[in-house]
Amino acid sequence: MNLDSSEKIKEMDPQGMVEDLDTFPDQCKEAVSLGEEIKLPYDLEEFDRALVTGMGGSAIVGDLLARLLDFPVDTNRGYYLPKSARPDDLLIAVSYSGNTEETLSALKDGQRRGMESLCLSTGGKMEKYCNRESIPLVKIPTGHQPRASTGYMLFPLLKLFDEAGLAGTIDFAQLNEEVEGMADSWNSSVPTESNEPKKLAEELAGKVPVIYGTKGNTSVVAYRWKTQINENAKQPAFWNVFPELNHNETVGYELGSELMSNGKVITLKNGLEIERNELRMKIMEDLFTDEGIDYAIARAPEGDKFTKIIGQVYFGDYFSVYLALLNQVDPSPVELIESFKARLKKEG
SS3 content of the chain, % helix, strand, coil (to 5): 55, 15, 30
The CB-of-273 to ligand F6R minimum distance in angstroms stands at 28
CA end-to-end distance (rounded Å), the chain? 42
Which residue in the shown chain puts its C-beta closest to ligand F6R? 56
Burial class (CB in 10 A: 0-12, 13-18, 19+), 343: exposed
Q: Which amino acid is at 270?
A: N
Binding status of residue 316 toward ligand F6R by CB under 6 A = no
Binding status of residue 100 toward ligand F6R by CB under 6 A = yes
Question: Do 147 and 231 contact (CB within 8 A), yes or no?
Answer: yes
What angle separates helix 305-326 from helix 150-163, to the nearest 10 degrees? 170
Distance CA 33, CA 53 (A): 23
Q: Which amino acid is at 27?
A: Q
Q: Using CB under 6 A, which residues numbered 248 to 307 contact ligand F6R?
A: none
Q: Of 58 and 217, which has the nearer Cβ to ligand F6R? A: 58
**Contact residue for ligand F6R among 259, 283, 337, 344 (CB under 6 A):** 337
**Contact residue for ligand F6R among 75, 103, 219, 320 (CB under 6 A):** 103
Q: Of 56 and 209, which has the nearer Cβ to ligand F6R? A: 56
Binding status of residue 231 toward ligand F6R by CB under 6 A = yes
Q: Of 119 and 175, which has the nearer Cβ to ligand F6R? A: 119
Q: Using CB under 6 A, which residues numbered 146 to 165 contact ligand F6R?
A: 146-147
Strand residue runs (E) in the chain: 49-53, 73-76, 89-95, 116-121, 137-139, 208-214, 238-242, 263-269, 295-299
The CB-of-336 to ligand F6R minimum distance in angstroms stands at 11
Binding status of residue 55 toward ligand F6R by CB under 6 A = yes
The CB-of-198 to ligand F6R minimum distance in angstroms stands at 22
**Contact residue for ligand F6R among 145, 267, 277, 327 (CB under 6 A):** 145
Of the listed pieces 16-24, 71-79, 93-101, 277-285, which binds ligand F6R according to CB under 6 A? 93-101
If DSSP codes are grouped into helix, strand and coil, which group holds residue 160? Answer: helix
Report the sign of the C-alpha dihedral through residues 330, 332, 336, 339, in that order: negative
Distance CA 243, CA 215 (A): 7
Q: Of 55 and 90, which has the nearer Cβ to ligand F6R? A: 55
The CB-of-232 to ligand F6R minimum distance in angstroms stands at 9
Active site positions, annotated: 231, 247, 341
263-269 β-sheet, strand order:
238-242, 208-214, 263-269, 295-299
Q: Which residues bind ligand F6R (CB under 6 A)?
A: 55-58, 95-97, 100, 103, 145-147, 231, 334, 337
